[in-house]
Every structure is written in C-alpha cells, then in structure tokens.
Chains A and B, each alone.
Chain A
Amino acid sequence: MAEREPNVAEEESTVAEPRTIDHYLHTDRFPHIWCPGCGLGTVTAAFLRAALELGLEKERTVVVGGIGCSSRAVGYLDFGTVHSIHGRALAFATGIKMAHPEFTVIVLTGDGDGAAIGGNHLIHACRRNLDITTILFNNNVYGMTGGQASPQTGMGGIATTAPFGFDEPSFDLCRLAEAAGATYVARGTSYGVRQLQRLIRDGITHPGFSFIEAVTQCPTEYGKRNPPKGPVQMLENLKEKAIPRKKAEGMTPEELEGRIVTGLLHRDESVPELTASYARMLERVRGSADE
C-alpha cells in the first residue's frame, strides 16, 4: 500500500542505499545523443564506476572532452566539465592541472580527436608525464560527422571518405603512448567492462600520465559499412579478438595479427610527475631568492 512508504522513509532509504553512477550524472540532460548499440555509454559507465570506487569528489575533479561523440560525454557528467575544442582537450587539461595540481583531471577523447587532430598534444602530454588520466574511446571512425575514416579505421576499412577501402595503416595507440613517455598505458574493450573499469581506476590513482585505450563499437557509422554488422556482432567480435597481455606475450606477431591485446601494458613509477617536479623547482627558486 502507498501509505506504508511515506516520503520521509523513502528519502532515508535512498540515503542508505549505495551510490550508483547516477551520483555523477546529470540525468536531467538525458536522453543522450548516442545511437542505439553505441559503446561510448558503456565506456563512460566504466569510468563512472571507477570514480565511484575511488569516491572521486565532484568539486575536485575536472573532466575535459574535445569534440566528437565520445567527448560529448562531459555534457552528462556532474563534475567540473569542459567541452573544449577539437583535438585540444589535453592542452586545456594541461593548463587546468598545472594551475591546480590538487584536482583530479580526466580527459575523454576519441580516435579522431585524440589521435588525428590532437595527436601532437597527445604525444607531448605523454612526454610531460603530468598527472592526467586520458581515456581514448577508439571506435575506428568519425561518428559525429557521418562515418569518415579516422587514423584507426584500418587497412581496407570502408568509410564515407574511403569508399574503396582505406589505404593507410593505423597507429598502435598504446605503443605510441608508451614510446612518447606515458607512465601508465592500458587497453580495454567495451565488452570487457569490468577489466576496463579496473584499468581506468588504476590509471586515475597512478601518479603520472595515464593512457587508457578503450576499444569500442560504432554500429551506426562503422558497423554498417564493415563486417561484422550490428552491435551484438561487434561486441562478440571484440570478445573474440581481445587477448590478455600475459597470454599474448608467448605469441608470434602472426598469431597476434588482428587481435586486441588488453590489460595493463606499461607502468613506470620512476619518472617524476610534472606538477611535483615543478613544485620542487618553485621551492628551489624561491628558497634561493630569500637568501
């Protein structure tokens, strides 16, 4: 009966319940812009569950996006959020983190935003080893603008700007990030959501630049032109192709062809984090000025 549950009791029970990811969402901004079957929401939810696990404070967390489907996630998140310009999210985030090292700074970007137009900022952010966590949503295509080829489309992939098949090889984004100096590099998929959540969580706590590639599916713009068609088939494909790093270590390059190596791929805690070394420099300079 309705009388059994007055408003007060309802409120109390709400407070007592464990928080859900709604805690970090502007649910009033829904429905979101993503298509049915899209993996971006899955990756965003993995990030939010990692945030819940860590208990990230909204006031001290800033999430920066660029432009594109994935970057639109920031518009639904209840942190300090910056929807910046195409490719430049990491440059904005660099300013924010350097000005306020106490903030937890997360960058959400896509394969076009992060690896094409923002590629230069990506490698320099890796090199600086500033304590920013970057989650790159890789769905192999420019979704928002209607299915054009991205650097991650892959040889032979069909896109509106590659109607006869794309002729260019892709980056191995994780190897790129590692070579550029990122001190935490990991890869997950929107199929392996628990693994992805764990990798993001560890990336956020890692004191240095963390790069997490989240391989995901765009059934609308990629799937409709490239096999396997359909969101379920694409997710199954991610499941089949994903292979944990440890298992992959014993395999030949031929055996690994077309596979997605997942898990923590690189971690180095010996490199100084930039805000910390900058603070030490300030101390040194100001100390000698006082003498």
Chain B
Amino acid sequence: MELWYTHLMRESIDQDSLLVQGNRACALGALDAGVRFFAGYPITPSSEIMEVMARELPAVGGVFMQMEDEIASICACIGASLTGEVSMTATSGPGFSLMQEAIGYAIMAEAPSVIVNVMRQGPSTGRPTTPSQGDVMQARWGTHGDHPAIVLAASNVADMYRLTIAAVRFAQRFRMPVILLADEIVGHMRESFSPEIAGRYRLTSGDFDFTETYTHPEMVREVHAPHELGTLIHPHVTGLIHDETGFPTNDPKKSEQFLRELHDKVVHHRDELCLYDVKNVGKGRVAVVAYGSCARSARAALKLAEQEGIPVEVLHLYTLFPLPVEIIQELARRVEFILIPELNLGQYAREVRRLAENWTTVVSMGRVDGNLITPRDIVDRLAELVGKYESS
C-alpha cells in the first residue's frame, strides 16, 4: 500500500515524532482510503481538511471542487459517487445543517459518501472556534423520514486518520453516506502520529484492520442499487421510493419492503459496524461511557480514579450509530451507575438511558460553556456520585 503520509511528510526531519493536526490526519486517511473526489465549502473548524485535499488530490489524479455552498458540495459528491468515484466532503454545524436533505437522498439512492462534521458550538453561528458535541442527534436524525444512519466519532488525531478509513469502507460496503463526527479539539489539536501508530490500535470490538485500505469492498447483500452511471445498464437513480428496477413505485407493499430493507442493511450488520473499546472490564462498580474528545478525558480519568479508590470501567464508543445495544446493556447489568460526559446537554445520555434504565442509573454530565471536560472533572463527579449512591 502506498501511504500518502510519507509523500506528504518527506520533508520532515524526524518521521517518528511528527506532529500532525487532526484535520490533516483526516485528509491523509481519506487519501489513503482511496478518496478521489472532494467537494467542499470553507467553514471553521473544518477548513484544513479541504485545504489539504485541494493540495494533494491533483497529485493522485483526483478531483477537488470548491463549491458555492455546502448543499452543492454534498450534491457534487453524490453525483461523483453515482459514477463510481470514492467521494467525501467536510464541514461543521451550519454546513452540516444545509447538507441534510441531500444526505437523505444518498441514503435513498444508496450512494456512498463520507461527510466529516468537525463540530462547533451552536445552534446557528454559535461560537465557531469552540468545541462541541452538539450535532450528535442531528447526525442521527438530521434528514427527514425514517432512515438508517452510520455515525462514527473521533477522539484523537490517530482516530481522525483511521476512522476516516473506516468511514470510507463502511460507505462503500453499505452503499450509503457515513458521518464522521469530530469536534474542534480533535480537529485542531496536534499529536504525534503516523499511520502505523494509527493501525496499531486494537479495539475490543474486534478485528477491524485500519491499515487495510481498499476502496471497493464487497457490498452487503441487502444493497439494492449497485449500478453505476456510464455502464451498459443505464440506471435510473431517484429519491422517490423505488423498486428493484430503480424506478418509482407507489405499491404499498413494495414501499414498506424497500424502507425496511434500507434499515435492515445497517441493523443486520451492527456487530461489524459498532467499533468500541472497553477498559477495566468487570473491575469497576461504576462506568463512564464516552466518545470523541470526552473519551480521551475518560480514559485518563480511569487511572486517576483508581488512585483515588474508585475502580471504574470505561466504554469508549467509536461508533455512535447504529447504537451498540448489546454492549451498553451488558455494561448496564454489571455497574451501579453510568456517567456520560459530553459537550452537549445530554444528547447521547438519553440514548444510553433508554437502553440501560432497566438495570442501572444513567447520569448525564453535559458541558456547554465551550470548555472541554477534563479527567479531573470526571473523577470529581464520580466521587460525588459514589458518595451519593453509597449513602442512599
């Protein structure tokens, strides 16, 4: 495999101690994953992704387009995707809102694409340079109608690289848009990085090989519309409910079957799609479930809490949707409470609560002042909760 980071970094003095920005790592992951079409529109804090793509795509014969807005960006990506190109776009909250209708089209038309959303504080213009995880539910439910979603969340620079690779592969295999969420912290921080470091991670969820980058993985059998434009079969692609011919249908039975199969495509493959990591399995009476930059704090809090006599289990989710139902329910059965630190007012905590509330208490720890949640914050909150639950 030809790794583009070597090409990009060849002028660096010491390749073992490269400091790479999260957004840049995302772009490098995209190039290594075979993305050859990128259309985007500038927006803080994601612009560096498109800047790297603008610079690097021509060298590999790819197409870079700066479009007139985010709607045009995602539509151009879908257009390219319908011809078989591996496409991607990157944006932040306001742009992500604009893309929603087209994301639904891509789900309906089974057009693969990757949408990176480097989240900033909202709603509206909010605080553009401030981290947030406020778009979690928009990533799941932003477009109208009943639809499936694949949503990943990056917690550090290496994640930005390898989860972009995972997003591309999932998009191609499931023929649908995949959303990769990052936040301003992850997008803009710099860390020591190389694809080898990124590939070395082992997840509890199994054998996803992040060093394996191939652009046309086998499609899942539930996919309806694998035909590309420009082939001998002249396909018809539509956002209307359609049958196996690709043409619209008003048949109630076929309509329901089609919509259910779109969902089944994701639900039947939950084990494959749910990437996660558990630390301290069975050792803690309490647990932290976290994703994105908060997961980083949670992992650091684990050691700190142990030192202070609070054994804690940490579930780090890389896939937010489809929901890791069994994983969360197993965890719920073995702990007294689950704490969920996130940079919003409890969006994912609500999801976890409805899965776990039969067995345990779910406590939301939301922060929306624009600062990150530190390991110390998490440990302090755990100590408070332990005191509360032990005294009760």
A interface, CB within 8 angstroms of B: 26, 29, 58-60, 62, 64, 74-75, 78-85, 88, 91-96, 98-100, 103, 120-121, 124, 278, 281-282, 285-286, 289
The reply to whether B234 and A80 contact each other, CB–CB distance below 8 Å, is yes
Residues of B contacting A286 with CB < 8 Å?
58-59, 61
Report whether A99 and B234 are in contact in the complex, using a CB–CB cutoff of 8 Å. no
Given contacts A93-B79, A99-B79, contact A83 B61 (CB under 8 A): no
Contact B229 A80, beta carbon cutoff 8 Å: yes
Q: How large is the interface on B (under 10, 10 to 19, 20 to 34, 35 or more residues)?
A: 35 or more
CA distance A83 to B83 in the complex (A): 14
Given contacts A74-B236, A91-B72, A120-B69, contact A98 B63 (CB under 8 A): yes
11 intermolecular pairs with C-beta atoms under 8 Å apart: A29-B247, A78-B234, A81-B236, A83-B238, A92-B75, A93-B79, A94-B72, A94-B76, A281-B58, A285-B58, A286-B61
* Residue contact B76 to A100, C-beta cutoff 8 Å: no
User: Residue B76 contacts which of A79, A91, A282 (CB distance < 8 angstroms)?
Assistant: A91
Q: Mark B251-271, 1 if CB is under 8 A from A, else 0.
A: 000000000000000000000
Tell me the bound Cα distance from A157 to B69 in angstroms.
Answer: 32
The answer to whether B310 has its CB under 8 Å from any CB of chain A is: no
> How many residue pairs, one in A and one in B, have C-beta atoms under 8 Å apart?
128
SS of B interface (majority): mixed
Once bound together, how far apart are the Cα atoms of A124 and B237, in whole Å? 24
What's the minimum C-beta distance from A25 to chain B, rounded to whole angstroms?
12
CA distance A8 to B229 in the complex (A): 34
Residue of B nearest to A79 (CB): B234
**1/0 per position for B216-238, CB-CB distance to A under 8 A?**
00000000000001111011111
Interface residues of B (CB under 8 A from A): 37, 39, 58-59, 61, 63, 65, 67-69, 71-73, 75-85, 87, 101-102, 105, 229-232, 234-240, 247-248
In the A-B complex, the 7 residue pairs with the closest CB atoms: A95-B79, A95-B76, A91-B75, A92-B79, A80-B229, A83-B238, A95-B80
Select which of A60, A82, A124, A285 is within 8 A of B72 by beta carbon. A124
Q: Which residues of B contact A79 (CB under 8 A)?
A: 234
Residues of B close to A88: CB separation below 8 A: 71-72, 75, 102
Give the CA-CA distance A281 to B235 in the complex, in Å. 32
**Cα separation A29 to B246 with both chains bound (whole Å):** 12
Q: Once bound together, how far apart are the Cα atoms of A80 and B76, in whole Å? A: 16
Q: Name the distance in Å between B293's Cβ and chain A's nearest Cβ.
A: 32
Distance of A102 Cα from B279 Cα, bound (Å): 53
Known: A92-B76, A94-B67, A278-B63. A85 touches B230 (CB 8 A): no
Q: How far is the CB of A100 from chain B (nearest CB, A)?
A: 5
- The answer to whether B248 touches A62 (Cβ under 8 A) is no
A58 cross-chain contacts in B, Cβ below 8 A: 234
Q: Which residues of B contact A103 (CB under 8 A)?
A: 83, 229-230
Nearest opposing residue in chain A for B55, CB measure: A285
When C-beta atoms are compared, the residue in chain A nearest to B76 turns out to be: A95
Which residue, of A74, A95, A282, has the highest number of chain B Cβ atoms within 10 A? A95
Give the docked Cα–Cα distance between A74 and B238 (Å): 10
Q: How far is the CA of A56 from the CA of B291 in the complex (A)?
A: 52
Q: Which residue on A lies nearest to B109, using beta carbons? A: A82
B76 touches A124 (CB 8 A): no
Closest A residue, CB atoms, query B79: A95
Cα-based distance from A33 to B63 in the complex (angstroms)? 38
B83 touches A92 (CB 8 A): no
In the bound complex, do residue A95 and residue B248 qualify as a contact, i.e. CB atoms below 8 Å apart? no
Name the A residues within 8 Å of B68 (CB-CB).
120-121, 124
Give, as a whole number of angstroms, the nearest-CB distance from A67 to chain B. 8
The answer to whether B105 and A85 touch across the interface, beta carbons within 8 angstroms, is yes
Quick one: closest B residue to A28, CB to CB?
Answer: B247
Report Cα–Cα, A81/B247, bound state, in Å: 10
